[in-house]
Chains A and B, each alone.
Chain A
Amino acid sequence: MSNSHQLKRVDFIFRNENDWEKVLSTNIKKQPKDLINELISSELKGRGGAGFPTGLKWKLTAEAESDKKYVICNADEGEPGTFKDREILSRVPYKVLTAMAICGYITGATEGFIYLRGEYKFLQSELQKTIDEFHYYCNEIKLDFSIKIFMGSGAYICGEETALMESMEGRRGEPRNKPPFPTQAGYLGKPTVINNVETLVHSFTIFKYGAKKFYDLGVQYSRGTKLFSVSGDTPKPGIYELELGMSLQDFVYEFGDGDTKAVQVGGASGFLVPRKKFKDAAIGFKGKLTGISLPTGGSMMLFNSSRSMYNVMDNYLEFFREESCGQCTPCRVGCQQLLLGIKAVKRGDKPASYLDKLLRLTETMQLTAKCGLGQSVANSFSSIVENFREEMIY
C-alpha cells in the first residue's frame, strides 16, 4: 500500500469565510481543554519549518505557569522565493487574527504580536486597519486580547523563533540556547506560542469546521493541506494549496516543463530530489516512506536539464554564508568553508575527494550548530553533492 496519492488541489486557506466573529465568539465559550484536544486530534503540524505539533505547543504553553504569556505570529517569511504568508495576510488576515485570539484564550495570553517581515511594510497599514476592527469586536464580546505589529529588521535569521524574540526585545537577532523552549520561556522570558502564519490559518479552519475535516485530508503523519510556492523551470509558477502526501512524480507531472531533472523541496534548507527518485518521494512530514521532510516555507523549485547544480549549490551557500547570524563556529565558518571549498574543487585547486571532507563538515554542522539554519545546510549540500557529484567537479 502506498502512502502517497494523486495530486489534489484544495481551496481552504484563501476561501473567504465571512463569519470570523462567530467562529471567535462561539469558540471562546468552549472549554480550553476541549479546544486543545480538538487541535491535537487534527494532528496539525507547524507550517513554519520544524513541523512541531501545534496542539502540543499550545497545550504546553497553557500549562506553563506565569502571570504573563504571549502569542506571536511569525510572518518573517525570509525564505527566497516564498510569499505565501504575504498572500495570506493580504487576503485572509482575519483568519490569522481569530486564531491568535483563540490561542490567547486557550493559553491565557492577552497580548499578541505579528512579526512582519521588513520588506512587507506595504502590508502594514491595511493589516493595522483589520486589527483595529478586530480589536473593536474583541471589545464588544469582552475578550481581553490585543495584537500589535512588530516590523522585522530584514535578516533571514530573525525568522528563527528565538532570534525573532531577541530582536523583539531590542537585541541582536541571534538564536538562543534551547532548552528552555519558547513554551516555557519565550518573549521577555514568558511562556509564548509562536506559530507560522499558515499554521494559524489551519487552526482557524479546525476551530470552524472541526478537526475531522482537516484530518481527513492528507496522509498518516501529514494531515491537511499546505501552501506551496512553485518556482524555477515551470510554466506555471505561483502559490498552490495542495493536499499533503502527494508523490513528487505527480507534482512534477503537474508543474514540470517536461524536462525536469531535479526539484529542490523546501528551499535552501531543504533537499534536492533528482529525477530518478521522483517516484519514491512523497511530500510530507517525517515518519513517512521516503525520508524527505516537509518543505520549510513550502518552496518547490524545479530545475530542468539546462541548469547547473553547481550553480544552484553555489547560490545556496552564498545565501547561508551571508544569512548565518555568525555567532556559532560550525555555521559561521562552516558556510564559508563550504562555499570556498566547492569553488576550489571546481577550479581544480582541491581534489574531488575534498568534497567528502566537506560532506563530513556538513555532518558536523548538523550535529553541533546552535540553530536550524546551520543544522540544515547539510540537507541541500549532501543531496546535491551526492546526486550530482560530476557537476560539482567538472
Chain B
Amino acid sequence: MSKNINITINGIPVELEPGKTILEAAEAEGITIPTLCFHKDLCVAGNCRVCVVEVAGQRRLSAACATPCEEGMEILTNSLKVRNSRKQIIELLLSEHNADCTKCYKNGNCELQTLSSEYKIMTQDFLELVPLKKYSIDMYSPSIMKDDSKCIRCQRCVRTCAELQGVNALTVAHKGDQMKITTFFEKAMRDVVCTNCGQCVNHCPTGALVEKNYIEEVWEALADPNKHVVVQTAPAVRVGLGEELGMEPGTRVTGKMVAALRRLGFDSVLDTDFTADLTIMEEGTELLTRLKKALVDKDENVSLPMATSCSPGWIKYIEHMYPEHLKHLSTCKSPQQMFGALAKTYYAKARNLEPENIVSVSIMPCTAKKFEAYRPEMYDSGYRDVDYVLTTRELAILIKQAGLDFNKLEPVKFDRLMGESTGAAVIFGATGGVMEAALRTAYEIVTGREVPFENLNITAVRGMEGVREATIKIEKPLDDWAFLDGVELKCAIAHGLINAKTVMDAVKAGTADYHFIEFMACPGGCLGGGGQPIPTNPEIRQKRAEAIYAEDEGLPMRKSHENPEVQKLYKDFLKEPLGEVSHHLLHTKYTKRERY
C-alpha cells in the first residue's frame, strides 16, 4: 500500500490515499465542485471545463474531474479566478444553447439550468449562436427524442452508449463549430442500432435526449367516459418513483403509488408483477422443456443456454448484434406485453368489457418498453396490446400535474384480477431477480422442495458484478424429472449490454456451457432503467436494489407458482403453461436486424 498524501483544499488540510482526483477529494470534504461532463458511471472526459479549480503555483486552471491529487497541492475551488472562468464557460455554453427553459421537458431537472441558476447568469453578452445553427429534432423514435439545440456536447450519451451498453449508436461527428452528437450516417435514432434502452437519456444532463412522452394521450384517455383505462406498474417503479417526488433513494412507495394512480382516475390499478409471476410459469416450463428435450430426447435442435426475454432493450440488441442466435431467446413475451395481451382478452371478458374500449397503460422504468409496445408482434389481442407506456418520470409528472400531495397519500392495495403478485415478481426489478424467481419455482416443480437457501434468498445470483455465475445442483427430483437427478444447473446473469456482449461472445464461441442466462439491458437491471429518476448512479442503484429485496422479504408469498390469481388464470383461461392460448397470447417471435 502506498503512503497517503497531504494537500489542502480551500486552506483545509486533507490527508488522502493517492490516486484520487481533485473532484473526489473535494467531495469527500463536503465541497461541491460543479460538473457537467462528469458522471459516476462513466470514464472521465474532461471536456466541459466547468469543474476547473486553481492549483497554487500554476497559472492555468485544472479540471478537477481529470486531475489527480499530488502531494502538497494547494487547491482553491472558489477563487475569483476560478469563478470568473467558470462563469464565462457557462455563458459560452448558454450562447450555443437553445435555452427556452419554460418550453423544455427538462425544466426543473436540468444540470445546465441548475448551474446557470447557481451562477446567476442574468445577462447574455455573448452573441447568440443558436440562430446560426441548423439544429434539428429527431422525434421519429417511439422511445426517445433528440434535440440537438439543447446539446452541450458533453458526450455523456456517447460514453454511455459505448461504455455501459457497447452499442455505439451515438457518436461524435465533425469538428470545431460543427461538432455534434449523431448516429451512423446521421440517420434517425429509430433507423440505427439503438436499442431504445434510454441509458443515454438517463445520463444526459440537459434536455437534448429525453423520452418520448405520452402524458397528454393518457390524460385524454382518462378523461374519455367511454374508455376503461387500466394501468399496470412494473416492479422497479415502486422503488424509484419516490425520488422524483422528493424522497430519498431507496424509499418504497408501492401503496402510495397505487393510491396516486387511483386518484389520477385509472379505472383499474393493476400490477405488472402479476404477469411477472406468470412469466416465471411460462419461462420456467419452457426451460424445463428445453432441458428435457436436450438431455432425454437428445434433440439437437434445442438451443441451450436459454436466454431470458423480458428486457426489450436486450431483445433489440441481440436482434441487431447476434441475429444468428435468436433461437436462444425464450419465446416468452415480457411481463408488460403478457399483461397487455391479457388485458384485452381475459380481463375484458371477466369484466364484461369490449376490448376496443379498454385503454391499456403501463408505467415502466424503461424507454425500450415504449418501442416494445409499438412492435407489430404486439397486437395478439386483436388490438394494440399496450396503448401507452409511461416512464417512472412521466408518472411523477402526472402526479404533480394533478396536484397530489404524494407524501400524504394513504397506501392502498392493487385492484384485483391481475393485481396479485409475489415477492418473486418484485425482484424482477433487480439484476438477478428473474433468475432467482425462476429458480425458486423451477426447483420446487422439479424436486417438490423449496430451494435450499436460507429464507429463499438466493444470494449467489444477487449483486452488482457485471457478469455473475451460479450453479444449483438438483438432487432427489420427483419421478417426472428423474432425468435431472444430479444435474448441475448452470446459470449466468448479465446486466448492462456491454456485459451482455461478453456473455454472448462466449455463447457465440461455444464456450458458454450454461443452461440459463438472464440478460438485462440496463445496469443494475430495471431498477437502473433508462426511464428511472435522474440521477441514477451506482449508489442510488444500490439503494433501490436494497429496497426491492426488502419488498420481497416483506411479502407473504414469495414464489410465483403460489400466486392464486395466476393459478386461477390457468384454471379459467390458459389451461396450462405453454398451452395453446399461452402460445398465442404470451409468446412471440423475434426479428433479425442489421448490424449498423
Contact = CB atoms under 8 A, between A and B. Distances in A.
A335 B153 contact: no
B44 A177 contact: yes
Nearest to A173: B175
Nearest to B133: A336
A187 B88 CA distance: 34
Interface in B158-205: 171-172, 174-179
A330 B177 contact: no
A324 B84 CA distance: 23
Contacts of B45: 327
A141 interface: no
A364 B177 contact: no
Interface in A326-370: 326-330, 332-337, 340-341, 344, 350, 354, 357, 360-361, 364, 366-370
A375 interface: yes
Contacts of A324: 175-177, 179
B63 A370 contact: yes
Contacts of A155: 175
B179 A336 contact: no
Contacts of A332: 96, 153, 176-177, 179
B122 to A, nearest CB: 16
A157 B176 CA distance: 10
Given A326-B175, A327-B153, A368 B92 contact: no
Contacts of B67: 177, 179
B176 A326 contact: yes
A327 B44 contact: no
B66 interface: yes
A172 interface: yes
Interface string B61-105: 101001110000000000001001100110011011000000000
B479 to A, nearest CB: 59
Given A333-B92, A333-B95, A370-B46, A322 B60 contact: no
B164 to A, nearest CB: 18
A383 to B, nearest CB: 18
B50 interface: yes
Given A321-B177, A337-B126, A364-B88, A326 B153 contact: yes
Given A177-B46, A323-B176, A366 B60 contact: yes
A334 B92 contact: yes
Contacts of B171: 172
B95 A337 contact: yes
A309 interface: no
A201 interface: no
Given A177-B46, A323-B176, A333-B95, A360 B60 contact: no
Given A329-B47, A361-B88, A367 B127 contact: no
A44 interface: no
B47 A360 contact: no
B213 interface: no
Nearest to B179: A326
Given A330-B49, A367-B52, A172 B172 contact: yes
Nearest to A369: B49
25 contacts: A177-B44, A320-B176, A323-B176, A326-B172, A326-B174, A327-B172, A327-B179, A329-B49, A329-B50, A330-B92, A332-B176, A332-B179, A333-B95, A333-B96, A333-B129, A340-B129, A340-B132, A341-B127, A354-B125, A366-B60, A367-B52, A367-B60, A368-B49, A370-B63, A375-B60
Given A177-B63, A341-B126, 4 more contacts: A323-B176, A326-B175, A327-B47, A329-B50
Interface of A: 155, 157, 172, 174, 177, 179, 320-330, 332-337, 340-341, 344, 350, 354, 357, 360-361, 364, 366-370, 375
Closest 7 CB pairs of A and B: A326-B179, A177-B66, A333-B92, A327-B47, A177-B46, A364-B88, A322-B176
